[in-house]
């Protein structure tokens, strides 16, 4: 069992995060992800080419260069094709999503779950508020023609507790973030504020920032932004982060994509904060028969959820109001 050391656990509880070097075997976890997502990109390229949105499928280009070129030429970031979560709005019966066996293998990696168990115990639930993120170089990323904002860029400052509903405020959600390729400051690694998990949940404001359209953000004056540190990670390493740790990502100023998985876990039986989406028991010492070990069954859970949400009006997943004085 690959448990975290006493020193690593002490660092996590004191600082609100810990980096575990060389946790994941690239051949077992990361190489299959690259192959699986290469197939997804093949399908996307063919679809866009058939729709005359691009003039070539660029099949001879390396994955990162190919994805960037396709995004540029089509004028659109197609990130939903690669994500294993659904959007919060406008879900249709054919909303793209990715639930292949390599992703499931990453979610249920025994060494990763061993490390998670070190922090939260042996009853582990895979929280569905998680994503794959493939960010092209910002200089090559399409912008919104109406606003001029990047369609996909740096992630604003936030806490992961802030992107779930209030019912999960007492849930011990743990974030596990790891890159598929090396993530350094130039390519847009994460930055975070150590010990900010001790300071409670901050007000978040909807609508991103003046330059960042994505999601929600914490106004700068509400947290110790000046104490932030960057967290570059090598391929195979992982960052474990408390749900209240203030963090975001740097802009990708490199000439290559920044590719990462943002996974979350909580003790089984606690609310996930995204109850419309399907989680699953990833590990259980008390009831091992409840564990989900079938990648296709996991994929079917998401297909069933997509069908259900496509029949409904959009649900609300956001507790925050732009009318709060902190958002002025």
Is 220 contained in some domain? Answer: yes
Is 127 contained in some domain? Answer: yes
pLDDT at 270: 98
Cα separations in angstroms, 258 against 6, 84, 138, 254, 263: 31, 17, 10, 9, 16
Which three-class secondary structure state does DSSP give residue 7?
helix
Rounded to whole angstroms, how far apart are CA atoms 316 and 119? 31
Tracing tokens 């028991």 back to the chain, one arrives at 281
Rounded to whole angstroms, how far apart are CA atoms 183 and 190? 8
pLDDT at 11: 98
Is 16 contained in some domain? Answer: yes
CATH code for the domain in which residue 110 is found: 2.60.120.620
Rounded to whole angstroms, how far apart are CA atoms 84 and 37? 12
pLDDT at 208: 57
Is 43 contained in some domain? Answer: no
Is 70 contained in some domain? Answer: no
**Structural domain boundaries, residue 198:** 6-25+100-297
Give the rounded distance of the alpha carbon of 181 from its chain centre: 15
DSSP character string of 143-168: B-TTT--BSS-PPPSB-GGGGS-GGG
Per-residue pLDDT of the chain (328 residues), as tens digits, is: 678 999 999 999 999 999 999 999 999 999 999 999 999 999 999 999 999 999 999 999 999 999 999 999 999 999 999 999 999 999 999 999 999 999 999 999 999 999 999 999 999 999 999 999 999 999 999 998 888 888 899 999 999 999 999 999 999 999 999 999 999 999 999 999 999 999 999 999 987 554 444 579 999 999 999 999 999 999 999 999 999 999 999 999 999 999 999 999 999 999 999 999 999 999 999 999 999 999 999 999 999 999 999 999 988 888 898 889 999 8
Looking at residue 171, the DSSP 8-state letter turns out to be S
Tracing tokens 């909303």 back to the chain, one arrives at 95
Is 48 contained in some domain? Answer: no
Strand order of the β-sheet with 247-249 is 229-231, 190-192, 247-249
Number of domain units in the chain: 1
Is 147 contained in some domain? Answer: yes
Rounded to whole angstroms, how far apart are CA atoms 185 and 14? 24
Burial class (CB in 10 A: 0-12, 13-18, 19+), 116: buried
pLDDT at 316: 84
Q: How many angstroms separate the most distant Cα atoms in the chain? A: 57
Rounded to whole angstroms, how far apart are CA atoms 195 and 224? 10
Is 81 contained in some domain? Answer: no
pTM: 0.95
């Amino acid at each position: 069992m690959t448990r975290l050391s006493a020193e690593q656990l002490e660092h996590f509880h004191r600082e609100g995060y810990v980096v575990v070097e060389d946790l994941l075997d690239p051949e077992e976890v990361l190489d299959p992800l690259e192959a699986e997502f290469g197939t997804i990109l093949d399908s996307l390229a063919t679809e866009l080419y058939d729709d005359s949105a691009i003039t070539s499928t660029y099949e001879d280009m390396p994955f990162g260069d190919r994805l960037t070129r396709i995004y540029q030429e089509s004028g659109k970031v197609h990130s939903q094709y690669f994500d294993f979560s659904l959007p919060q709005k406008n879900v249709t019966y054919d909303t793209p999503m990715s639930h292949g066996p390599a992703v499931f293998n990453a979610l249920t990696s025994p060494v990763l779950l061993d490390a998670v168990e070190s922090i939260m115990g042996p009853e582990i639930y895979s929280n569905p508020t998680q994503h794959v993120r493939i960010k092209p170089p910002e200089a090559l990323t399409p912008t919104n023609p109406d606003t001029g904002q990047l369609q996909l860029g740096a992630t604003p400052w936030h806490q992961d507790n802030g992107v779930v509903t209030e019912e999960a405020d007492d849930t011990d959600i743990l974030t596990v973030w790891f890159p598929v390729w090396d993530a350094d400051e130039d390519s847009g690694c994460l930055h975070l504020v150590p010990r900010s998990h001790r300071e409670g949940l901050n007000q978040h404001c909807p609508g991103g920032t003046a330059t960042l359209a994505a999601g929600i953000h914490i106004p700068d004056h509400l947290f110790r932004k000046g104490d932030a540190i960057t967290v570059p990670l090598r391929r195979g390493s992982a960052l474990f982060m408390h749900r209240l740790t203030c963090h975001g990502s740097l802009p990708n100023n490199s000439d290559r994509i920044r590719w990462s998985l943002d996974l979350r876990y909580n003790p089984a039986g606690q609310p996930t904060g995204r109850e419309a989406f399907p989680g699953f028991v990833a590990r259980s010492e008390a009831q091992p028969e409840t564990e989900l070990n079938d990648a296709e069954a996991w994929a079917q859970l998401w297909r069933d959820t997509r069908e259900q949400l496509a029949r409904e009006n959009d649900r609300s997943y956001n507790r925050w109001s732009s009318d709060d004085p902190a958002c002025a």
